[in-house]
Amino acid sequence: MSHVMNTYSRLPVAFTHGQGVWLWDAQGKRYLDALGGIAVNTLGHAHPRLTQTLAAQAGRLIHTSNIYRITEQETLADKLAAISGMDKIFFCNSGCEANEAAIKIARLCAKGRGIENPAIVVMEKAFHGRTLATLSATGSRKVQAGFEPLVSGFIRVPYDDLEAVRQVAQHNRNVVALLVEPIQGEGGINVAHFDYLKGLRELCDQYQWLLMLDEIQCGLGRTGKWFVYQHAGFLPDVVTLAKGLAGGVPIGACLARGAAAEVFKPGNHGSTFGGNPFACAAALTTLEVIEQNKLLDNATRVGDAIRAGLAEALAGAKGVVAIRGMGLMLGIELDRPCNELVQRALDAGLLINVTADKIVRLLPPLILSQDEARQLVDMLCALIRDFLSQPAAAH
Ligand SMILES: Cc1ncc(COP(=O)(O)O)c(C=O)c1O
């Protein structure tokens, strides 16, 4: 019996090592990793540049404390500011912590404006994490059930529906911010229209709300630009990052601009490990390799090829509802629950995931090559066709 707490229903496999987009188990079986640790392994596995940085940094300095200056953190903040258009960055260790920081910024901002009971607009089907505040912001009863009382101060609206937000704005004077994923990940790879996002920017300006984007899953190059908001052509006030930022080393970041960047003062927020030299060195190398190896372009090119390949191979397949996403953040919606596809893919040597019951999700490393993409499409489409060809009762 394992002494690990029972928080995940785990697949019956453990990997011993990886190389590029491939993983191996103890029996020597090889798997194509089309999930990348759920959008974490930006550079795949055992990337020589990242390995070298980690070894060198561990040999030099792993951790000091945020009560001292940290050169690697300052350099990473400069780099993130340059690629994002944001002004200041708070570092932590995970996505939920980055969102906690964003929520605290919004609340402190409200107090500064004399709003005693502030509210943040959040979305149906959103996922923002599993701490008490972030699960309260999350739009899934499954995530919240059992943890009541939830943190108050969130107003929920349907996703990608500007009119719903306008209604809230007209009827609620306590709103101080809006938190949204430009592409919902856990919610089913739901891509917001760019006009909607731009409309949110205008509403937030009009009502003096902070526009806070959770780009923890969709950001950092996966869609072909550093951030999804850059496709839409505007700047948010706050952006949260984690997952792929340091290629697998735990890190989170809350980026803020303008007044939002100046809200926190010493004593308002903190994190023991946040922004330590080891994690920041890993992030700096990850960003450098993304740039030097032109992985943003690669994400667009290879992502487009996968979409085209899926569309062709699944054309006419009854039961495929939609193929959607951007770059290397892709979802294939089926007309029925398809969780068992995950085990079938594992058996076939392919790592995928199913989210929101019916959506096969792909979040491969950004280094995926065209040839590997073809293998992915071939394997996956055979599995989906086979799955869909069985009578519905079998599922
Ligand atoms: C969009 C989004 N926000 C927040 C989180 C929470 O991140 P973490 O698990 O690092 O706390 C996730 C994780 O899946 C996510 O996809």
pLDDT at 392: 62
pLDDT at 1: 76
Residues 6+ apart with CB under 8 A from 182: 191, 192, 197, 213, 215, 218, 228, 229, 232
Tell me the per-residue pLDDT of 206-259, one tens digit each, with 9 for 90 and over: 999 999 999 999 999 999 999 999 999 999 999 999 999 999 999 999 999 999
- Cis peptide bond prior to 250, omega within 30° of 0: no
Helix axes 71-84, 277-292, angle to 10 degrees: 40
Catalytic residue check, 88: no
Give me ligand 1 centre to Cα 348, in Å.
Answer: 28
Give me ligand 1 centre to Cα 179, in Å.
Answer: 13
Query: Which of 216, 240, 254 is the best mutation target for the ligand 1 pocket, counting ligand atoms within 8 Å of the beta carbon and taking the most?
Result: 216
- The protein residue with its alpha carbon nearest to ligand 1, atom 4, reads 128
Tell me the per-residue pLDDT of 51-95, one tens digit each, with 9 for 90 and over: 999 999 999 999 999 999 999 999 999 999 999 999 999 999 999
Q: Which amino acid type is present at position 265?
A: K
Q: Is the pLDDT confidence value at 393 over 90?
A: no
pLDDT at 391: 72
Ligand 1 close to Cβ of residue 95 (< 6 A): yes
Give me ligand 1 centre to Cα 134, in Å.
Answer: 9
Q: Pairing between strand 154-157 and 119-123?
A: parallel
Among 214, 237, 358, 387, the one annotated catalytic: 214
* Mean pLDDT, range 335-356, rounded to an integer: 98
Average pLDDT over all residues of the chain: 97
pLDDT at 395: 55
Name residue, tokens 């190398």: 285
- The protein residue with its alpha carbon nearest to ligand 1, atom 7, reads 95
Give me ligand 1 centre to Cα 220, in Å.
Answer: 14
CB 362, CB 383: distance < 8 Å? no
Q: Is the pLDDT confidence value at 394 over 60?
A: no
Nearest residue to 240 via CA among 78, 91, 106: 91
Q: What pLDDT band is residue 378 in, cutting at 50, 70 and 90? A: very high
Ligand 1 close to Cβ of residue 128 (< 6 A): yes
Catalytic residue check, 243: yes
Ligand 1 close to Cβ of residue 180 (< 6 A): no
How remote is the C-alpha of 93 from its chain's centroid?
14
Residues 6+ apart with CB under 8 A from 206: 169
How remote is the C-alpha of 69 from its chain's centroid?
29
The DSSP result for 344-381, as a single string, is: HHHHHTEE-EEETTTEEEE---TT--HHHHHHHHHHHH
* Mean pLDDT, range 331-346, rounded to an integer: 98
Ligand 1 close to Cβ of residue 100 (< 6 A): no
User: Which H or E run contains 63?
Assistant: none
Give me ligand 1 centre to Cα 394, in Å.
Answer: 33
Among 243, 264, 278, 358, the one annotated catalytic: 243
Model pTM score: 0.98
Query: Which of 93, 127, 181 is the best mutation target for the ligand 1 pocket, counting ligand atoms within 8 Å of the beta carbon and taking the most?
Result: 127
Tell me the per-residue pLDDT of 141-180, one tens digit each, with 9 for 90 and over: 999 999 999 999 999 999 999 999 999 999 999 999 999 9
Least-confidence region, from 100-104, 112-116, 263-267, 282-286: 112-116
pLDDT at 114: 94
Query: Which of 128, 131, 132, 183 is the best mutation target for the ligand 1 pocket, counting ligand atoms within 8 Å of the beta carbon and taking the most?
Result: 128
Ligand 1 close to Cβ of residue 242 (< 6 A): yes
Ligand 1 close to Cβ of residue 129 (< 6 A): yes
SS3 content of the chain, % helix, strand, coil (to 5): 40, 20, 40
Catalytic residue check, 318: no
